[in-house]
Amino acid sequence: MSGMSPEEFAKKIGAGLLSFPVTHFTDSDTFNGGAYREHIEWLLEFKPAGLFAAGGTGEFFSLTLDEFSAVVSAAVEQTNHRVPVVAGCGYGTAMAKQFARAGEAAGADGILLLPPYLLNADPAGLVAHVEAVCAATKLGVIFYNRDNAILNDVWLERLCARCPNLVGFKDGYGDIELMTRIYARMGDRLTYIGGLPTAETFALPYLEMGVTTYSSAIFNFLPQFAQDFYAAVRRRDHAVVYKELRDFVLPYIDIRNRHKGYAVSIVKAGMRAVGRPAGPVRTPLTDLDTSELDALAKLIAGRS
């Protein structure tokens, strides 16, 4: 079990770029713990501020509770307190509480609360859901604002008053006015994380709204590029940021957008391209086809 307080956790994850490791699977569709640990050790060489274990890029929704616990435990043991480990969490309230408790038992330092499965709910019901999950764990919780789980600044303020361990807000919605309202109302009560797909695209404008960090999936296969890009964002070097967007990030997004679900699939394809395969994605996701793999490999070769 982590000894890190929610406040300490929030401070640490806001201090630099965050990595979103994929979950490694064998060809027989089982968790490949050895390869996963090796990958995390490699990522740590590039100094991420925190690691998301079994999150969205880590295919949380394809994992059983036992697999989830194994993934988080492996991440915690391999990092050995060098950086905070954030465990994914989701589904309906009862299951989300189970995953939150399992993440805490596995030694995670915090929880990323993903949207509930399938349903669209009234904000009051969503607030009750978040409050119940926060009450189920002593860990710091990050609320992921996206898809069918969107809260405005007023509802978020109510949650923060009720849940001292709600310490983070990750935005995957992209409404600039809403993000501005949230930051204006909540200020430094929360740590703000960029969470739109391929977060590098939005990093510079989001920095102006108080979002000092984001989780990078590209970090999986081009960690030095990811850190260099983040450094350019933080120093507000527009020339470098837009050059890298033109030369790599936007062409990468063009491949990602060819099919649904490729936001995860393209990351595993990128790892294969750099000689660090993580196995296939699990259904209902699909892997890139040969032509898409070739296009991605050529793009990455220009950055390696």
> Cα separations (Å) of 116 from 97, 146, 147?
12, 10, 9
pLDDT one-digit tens code per residue, 73-83: 999 999 999 99
Strand 166-171 with 191-194, pairing: parallel
Report how far residue 163's alpha carbon sits from residue 55's, in angstroms, rounded to the nearest whole number: 22
Model confidence at 2, pLDDT cuts 50, 70, 90, reads low
For the residues 235-247, what does the mean pLDDT come to?
Answer: 97
Does residue 238 register a pLDDT over 90?
yes
Helices H, strands E: what count in the chain?
A: 13, 8
| Residue-wise pLDDT tens digits, 144-156 | 999 999 999 999 9
As given in the structure block, the two tokens for residue 283 are 């259904």
C-alpha 166/C-alpha 182 separation (Å) is 14
With H, G, I as helix, E, B as strand and everything else as coil, classify residue 216: strand
**pLDDT value of position 304:** 63
Is residue 119 scored above 90 in pLDDT?
no
45 CB-contact burial (10 Å; exposed 0-12 / middle 13-18 / buried 19+): exposed
* Structural contact between residues 88 and 21, judged by C-beta atoms closer than 8 angstroms: no
| SS3 (DSSP) at 191 | strand
The structure tokens listed for 243 are 């050059």
d(CA 167, CA 164): 7
Cα 143 from Cα 166, distance rounded (Å) = 7
Contact 191, 165 (CB under 8 A): no
Distance CA 199, CA 217 (A): 8
* SS3 at position 155: helix
Spatial CB neighbours of 212, under 8 Å, sequence gap ≥ 6: 14, 191, 192, 234
Please state, rounded to an integer, the average pLDDT across all residues of the chain.
96
Least confident of 30-34, 114-118, 244-248: 114-118
> In 193-258, where does DSSP find H-type helix?
203-207, 223-234, 238-244, 250-256
Contact 117, 90 (CB under 8 A): yes
* End-to-end Cα distance, the chain: 38
CA geometry: angle at 85 spanning 230 and 215, to 5°? 25
User: Would you say 168 and 7 are in contact if contact means Cβ atoms under 8 Å apart?
Assistant: no
Q: What is the mean pLDDT of residues 108-116?
A: 97
Would you state the pLDDT for residue 296? 98
What is the pTM assigned to this prediction? 0.96
Contact by Cβ (8 Å): 34, 64: no
Q: Residue 1's pLDDT band (boundaries 50, 70, 90)?
A: low
Quick count: other Cβ atoms within 10 Å of Cβ 164? 11
Average of per-residue pLDDT across 30-44: 98
- Our measurement of the distance from residue 192's CA atom to the centroid of its chain's CA atoms, rounded to an integer in Å, reads 12
Read off the pLDDT of residues 180-202 as tens digits, 9 standing for 90 and up: 999 999 999 999 999 998 999 99
**Ranges assigned E (strand) in 35-177:** 50-53, 85-89, 110-113, 140-145, 166-171
